[in-house]
Amino acid sequence: MSMTQQLFRRKPITPPSTSEDGLARNISTFQLTMFGVGATVGTGVFFVMHEAVPDAGPAVIVAFLLAGLAAGLSALCYAEMASTVPVSGSTYSYAYATLGEVVAMGVAACLLLEYGVSTAAVSVGWSDYLSLLIENLTGWGIPDVIKAGPFAETAGVINLPAVILVAMCAFLLIRGASESAKANAVMVIIKLAVLLFFAAIAFTAFQADNFSDFMPNGAGGITLAAGAIFFTFIGLDAVSTAGDEVKNPQKALPIAILSALGIVVVVYLVVAIAALGTQPWTAFSDPEQQDAGLSRILELVTGSAWPGTILAAGAVISIFSVTLVTMYGQTRILFAIGRDGLLPKTFSAVNPRTRTPVNNTIIVAIVVGLLAGFVPLDSLWDLVSIGTLIAFIVVSVGVIVLRRTRPDLPRGFRVPGYPVVPVLSILACGYILTGLHWTTYLWFLAWLSVVLAFYFLWGRKHSRLNGLLDANGKVRADAVHGEER
């Protein structure tokens, strides 16, 4: 097999099955939908809105719609791909089956970057809402020395609440995917109730004049805001990481992806319109609103601390669920890469009692905990967006490729309007990519270089396809099937 054939060899697609030494299929369609909502709703409204509004002004609503449109087009492609290749690993596995091994490793770099940075950054924001909640309830705030890392604007020693949150999520994930899914579903229901509570109170102070200067920074501001917002749709990708653990994946995955998208877009728009109606868009840049911003808005609207306290409590629960699901997604992607032999076997080892990748989860918790505890990540949100956008583009391309190369494969869902929808998805995501800062591309290329260097030096030699495919890239007659167990 030539070098080119080796780099672009594709992993065989086999029907989903259950194995005693693999992950357990015990997640329901509803729980999977809540995974998508849990990983998405929270970051977009609790954190990013106060980052995006200064860029777009009241036109941040258009930015939410633009990001939602691009995510919606991509979600249709995700739904088809997930029903056709219903395994763990998300876009990495889809790329491996359609575009080849080296492309899959490039996509893996995107996914590991977006999940790692997102999990750490969200856990840092969690400590701000936790501090506000404790201060409102007891009058005592968490000291800065244990609430911020050494490189934060207000320097401390370690962001201890963020590290504790990562440890709690790891504990849940080690106990089992089903237990994590049940806990997440409860937290998602609470977070949606709290956000509706916010909107109900915020609309009592609604003033249409706050929308008069609707697009202060022009189309460029909207594109920039959409790029910052887009990373929150990582939840759609997180759904597809559960291919090996959901019941009836070929039906459940498309339903969960599209249902989660619908819920997320509606919640985003309602909360954004309600928040923007309470104050001029320039107030979102107020330093006092940069931490626990929505709670501060409620305190200003009501002149009382109790609504902000309720929202802070909801945010603490909400952000817990975001961290839980993004950590889950990262561990399952690493599991899939390890199972394919492109990472050491410890990443794919499954505990026989809990049926979870315990070693893998501990490694992720240590790395993410260190990032959350010591590294300021608030300036790295765009790295999550670029990883998510590239993953969405790859899925859309994968749908087109698989329709041409494997039209015979059973598909539980088909993209309507093919091939227009996948092409529009690629164009929409590409347009949003143009709004990201050039430094984001430099950081991304540096990380991509590290991952590909590892692949060429180690992963390529240990790939399981080395013993599965012949010199022509075809599955050997004597090879053991069931690689997608």
CATH architecture type of domain 3-467: Up-down Bundle (1.20)
10 Å CB burial of residue 140 (0-12, 13-18, 19+) is exposed
**What is the chain's pLDDT, residue by residue, as a tens digit (485 residues)?**
678 888 888 888 776 655 555 677 788 889 889 888 888 776 667 667 777 888 888 888 898 888 888 888 888 888 888 888 877 778 898 899 889 999 999 999 988 888 888 888 888 878 877 887 888 788 887 888 888 777 777 777 888 998 999 999 999 999 888 888 888 888 889 888 888 888 898 888 888 888 888 888 888 888 888 877 776 777 777 888 877 888 888 788 888 888 988 888 888 888 889 888 888 888 877 776 566 567 778 878 887 778 878 877 887 887 888 888 889 989 999 999 999 999 999 998 988 888 889 999 999 999 999 988 887 766 566 777 788 888 889 999 999 999 998 888 888 889 988 889 999 999 988 888 887 788 888 988 999 999 999 999 999 999 988 877 666 666 665 554 444 33
**Total length of the chain:** 485
Backbone angles phi, psi at 362, to 5 degrees: -65, -40
Annotated domain spans of the chain = 3-467
Task: Kindly list the distances between the CA atom of residue 31 and the CA atoms of 35, 78, 92, 123, 221, in Å, as whole numbers in the listed order.
Answer: 6, 18, 23, 22, 36
Provide the β-strand partners of residue 27: 246
Integer Rg of the chain from CA: 22
Q: How far is Cα 21 from Cα 351, in angstroms, rounded to an integer?
A: 8
Amino acid at 30: F
3-state secondary structure of 140: coil
Q: How far is Cα 308 from Cα 17, in angstroms, rounded to an integer?
A: 48
Residues 420-434 as b or e (16 or more Cβ within 10 Å = b): ebbebbbebbeebbe
Q: How far is Cα 180 from Cα 480, in angstroms, rounded to an integer?
A: 33
